[in-house]
Amino acid sequence: MAVIHDTTLEPSKLDLLTSWLPSRPWYRGGAAEPELTKAGGFRLDDPRGEVGIEFIVATDTRGPRPTTYLVPLTYRGAPREGAEHALVGTMEHGVLGRRWAYDGCQDSVLTGQLAALIEGRVQAQDQNLSDVPDREVIVTGTGDGSLPTDFTAADDREGTALSTSQGTTLRVHRVLRPVPAGSTLPPQGVIGEVSGSWQMPDGTRVRGVFAVLRSAGRT
């Protein structure tokens, strides 16, 4: 179980993302840095209790049309060998000391727990409270059997595709879009789906799809 500390972070997570997001192919803000506000998110537990796992939902309020992003991060107490390309930045944590923040889609601890979430073996946890499930994160249509976890991550304009040698693809949506009220059917070819909610700049709450699972041969 992850323990959520009420303490300081320097720089803040949003400050790290402000610098990092423009380097991503799915970033919609062009050359300008985003103006980010926290909109939601959830956590997953590392079974070994060593790595922090967080899915941050942040909205860029710059410009006339806000854009909301999903950013999975992992937090480690030491640099991850060979993962310099996935480093988002470092922070000084008031309790834990220096923490290295990584793009979670490039971290096998996060992707393995995301697969476990879709299989129904673990439960999403509240972003801000210790040992409190997040009931707004919903998993549907998990498919048959265990998911392979030999994921290879590739970013594109729409998000991140986590592909396996068996042909299974788990796509993480980076740019979030609200699903119209009353919509219940997943897109054609989807055999698993993770959805959740977040807060819009005007204070309303909306729901959308965070990740979708497709098996080999389904598009």
Q: pLDDT digit string (tens) for 168-200?
A: 899 999 999 998 766 655 566 678 899 999 999
CB 22 within 8 A of CB 34: yes
Residue among 77, 18, 68, 23 at smallest CA distance from 41: 68
DSSP letter at 29 equals S
Beta-sheet strands, E only, within the chain:
9-10, 36-44, 52-60, 67-76, 87-93, 97-103, 138-140, 152-155, 159-163, 169-173, 175-176, 192-199, 205-214
Q: What is the mean pLDDT of residues 46-53?
A: 94
pLDDT tens-place string over residues 108-119: 999 999 999 999
Per the DSSP assignment, residues forming a β-bridge with 103 are 73
Distance from C-alpha of 89 to C-alpha of 74, rounded to nearest angstrom? 11
pTM: 0.91
Among 31-40, 76-85, 159-168, the minimum mean pLDDT is found in 159-168
Question: 86, 118, 89: which is closest to 210 by C-alpha?
Answer: 118
> What is the DSSP secondary structure assignment for residue 50, as one 8-state letter?
-
- Are residues 199 and 40 in contact, defined by beta-carbon separation less than 8 angstroms? yes
Domain ranges within the chain, ordered by starting residue: 9-214
Q: Which position has the higher pLDDT, 96 or 179? A: 179
Model confidence at 62, pLDDT cuts 50, 70, 90, reads very high
Residue 198 to residues 63, 89, 124, 207, Cα–Cα distance (Å): 20, 25, 15, 7
